[in-house]
């Protein structure tokens, strides 16, 4: 196959991310479950809107591409709930690495290598770009749950401490947002949407 | 309201794009209709994959942000079918301008101005960035219809000449893709998915 055939095959394969459903609920669409494609759009846009709060210099173009790519592995590996048992989450990690090889491997080698490298940078969440991208991926579900009477937190009896830990990337990458998030988590706990432990 | 409150309100409002349904069908998800949020994700990713075919220099980061933003106006104005009557499409244009003012106007002024300006640049489709972005927005439904036995073309008796006109941005912005698209349109016409006029 030539490069274009490979690229078109990859683009077609991406349609499948629209059939991967998350726990998050879309209040604006009769509380149906959100899929990972529309979630990826929303956080990529969120990164542009909230980029002024980044504590360290970030390249918002790289952050955006990371966010467009970050869930593609779910086409093969499926979505896991953020607050599942750690054993489930560890097994998921192996599945996602195999998925990244197969899915990005549909592309010509130079693009495949670039995309896998960005995906791994996101997963490791150590660089300023990746840490900010990870923070966006985690803060948006929080906002959705707050808009929706607790949403997937309330439905799955999630603990306050779990949500705080999950959003800690913000503490480093956007401290002003971190302050806001801590206040919102307190309010959500007072309303009974999060378990107070 | 301070900047952060405005930004969070905008981000929450964006959830509504996930409830705007297009004519395109998702083969990978039981042929349900596609919404404009997941469509926006898919074309933003497509722009990165096909950027090497751009004839003129483009800033793929700007192209991506245009594509993330381009359909937001549909939250207020709704989606129209690409091949609707021109009178319907003209009326839609007025609705979209009002929608852009309201929706981007939720943001702090400097971001609102930047996003409206990018959206207008996309609509005018004259700069290399906007022309390439527009080409991506139009070529992906073509690929979806080809993968899906004619999809929304066949269901709405669309003409070959309409699809050729709609994809003409490619002729300027990515001639190599234009050649491929013309071949695919011919094949689709032979199969009876497009009307041969």
- Could you tell me how many CB contacts below 8 A there are between chain A and chain B? 124
- Give the tens place of pLDDT for each residue, B123-138: 999 999 999 999 999 9
Q: Which two tokens stand for residue B184?
A: 């695919």
Mean pLDDT in residue range B169-197: 93
CA-nearest residue to A112 within chain B is B49
The number of helix segments (H) and strand segments (E) in chain A equals: 11, 2
Q: List CB contacts of A16: < 8 A, sequence separation 6 or more.
A: A75, B28
**Is residue A59 scored above 90 in pLDDT?**
yes
Say which of A10, A45, A60 has its CB closest to residue B14: A45
**Is residue A1 scored above 70 in pLDDT?**
no
pLDDT band of B1, cuts 50, 70, 90 = low
Please check whether residue A46 touches B, CB under 8 A. Answer: yes
Contact between residue A141 and residue A26 where contact means Cβ atoms under 8 Å apart: no
Contact between residue A103 and residue A36 where contact means Cβ atoms under 8 Å apart: no
Using CA atoms, how far residue B115 sits from A38, A45, A133, B25, B69, in Å, is: 20, 11, 20, 29, 8
Convert chain B into a string of H (helix), E (strand) and C (coil): CCHHHHHHHHHHHHHHHHHCEEEEEEHHHCCEEEEHHHHHHHHHHHHHHHHHHCCCCCCHHHHHHHHHHCCCCHHHHCCCCCCCCHHHHHHHHHHHHHHHHHHHCCCCHHHHHHHHHHHHHHHHCCCHHHHHHHHHHHHHHHHHHHHCCCHHHHHCCCEHHHHHHHCCHHHHHCHHHHHHHHHHHHHHHHCCCCECC
- Residues pairing with B21 in the sheet: B35
Question: Can you give the length of chain A in residues?
Answer: 197
- Give the tens place of pLDDT for each residue, B52-72: 999 999 999 999 999 999 999
Using CA atoms, how far residue A146 sits from A88, A117, A134, A175, in Å, is: 26, 34, 19, 20
Percent of chain A clearing pLDDT 70 (strictly above)? 99
* Cα distance between residue B49 and residue B68, in whole Å: 15
Least Cα distance to B37 among B16, B11, B23 occurs for B16
Mean pLDDT in residue range B139-146: 89
Least Cα distance to B141 among B128, B130, B156, B129 occurs for B156
Least Cα distance to B18 among A68, A27, A82 occurs for A27
**Interchain proximity A42–B15, CB inside 8 Å:** yes
Please check whether residue B1 touches A, CB under 8 A. Answer: no
**Interchain proximity A143–B38, CB inside 8 Å:** no
Residue A193 has what DSSP assignment? S
* Chain A neighbors of B107, CB-CB under 8 A: 49
Q: Which residue has the higher pLDDT, A90 or B78?
A: B78
pLDDT band of B85, cuts 50, 70, 90 = confident
- Give the tens place of pLDDT for each residue, A64-74: 999 999 999 99
* Cα distance between residue A176 and residue B113, in whole Å: 24
Mutate to test the interface with B, among A3, A17, A45 (most CBs of B within 10 A): A45
Least Cα distance to B24 among B153, B133, B124, B197 occurs for B153
Please check whether residue A69 touches B, CB under 8 A. Answer: yes
Give the number of other CB atoms < 10 A from CB of residue A10: 22
**Interchain proximity B44–A44, CB inside 8 Å:** yes
- Give the tens place of pLDDT for each residue, A180-191: 999 999 999 999
CA-nearest residue to B111 within chain A is A49
Q: Which residue has the higher pLDDT, A91 or A129?
A: A129
Q: What is the pTM of this model?
A: 0.93
Q: Which two tokens stand for residue B18?
A: 């996930």
Say which of A7, A12, A143 has its CB closest to residue B8: A143
Distance of CA B76 to the CA centre of its chain: 16
Q: List CB contacts of B30: < 8 A, sequence separation 6 or more.
A: none
**Interchain proximity B64–A61, CB inside 8 Å:** yes
**Interchain proximity B41–A46, CB inside 8 Å:** no
Mean pLDDT in residue range A165-193: 92
pLDDT score for A195: 94
Domains of chain B: 3-190 (1.10.3210.10)
Q: List CB contacts of B183: < 8 A, sequence separation 6 or more.
A: none
Mean pLDDT in residue range B81-99: 84
DSSP string, A76-116: HH----TTS-HHHHHHHHHHHHHHHHHHHTTS-HHHHHHHH
Mean of per-residue pLDDT scores for chain B: 93
Please check whether residue A140 touches B, CB under 8 A. Answer: yes
pLDDT band of A47, cuts 50, 70, 90 = very high
- Residues pairing with A21 in the sheet: A35
Mean of per-residue pLDDT scores for chain A: 93
Mean pLDDT in residue range A97-114: 97
């Amino acid at each position: 196959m030539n490069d274009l055939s490979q690229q078109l095959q990859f683009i077609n394969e991406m349609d499948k991310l629209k059939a991967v459903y998350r726990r998050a609920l879309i209040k604006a669409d009769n509380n149906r479950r959100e899929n990972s494609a529309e979630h990826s759009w929303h956080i990529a846009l969120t990164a542009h809107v909230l980029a002024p709060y980044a504590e360290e210099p970030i390249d918002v173009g790289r952050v955006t591409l990371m966010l467009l790519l970050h869930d593609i592995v779910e086409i093969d590996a499926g979505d896991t709930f953020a607050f599942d048992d750690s054993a489930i989450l560890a097994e998921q990690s192996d599945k996602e690495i195999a998925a990244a090889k197969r899915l990005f491997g549909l592309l010509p080698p130079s693009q495949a290598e670039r995309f896998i490298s960005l995906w791994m940078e996101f997963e490791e969440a150590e660089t300023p770009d990746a840490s900010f991208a990870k923070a966006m991926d985690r803060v948006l579900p929080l906002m959705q749950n707050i808009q929706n009477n607790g949403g997937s937190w309330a439905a799955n009896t999630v603990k306050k401490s779990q949500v705080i830990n999950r959003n800690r990337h913000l503490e480093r990458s956007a401290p002003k947002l971190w302050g806001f998030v801590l206040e919102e988590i307190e309010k959500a706990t007072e309303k009974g949407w999060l378990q107070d432990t």
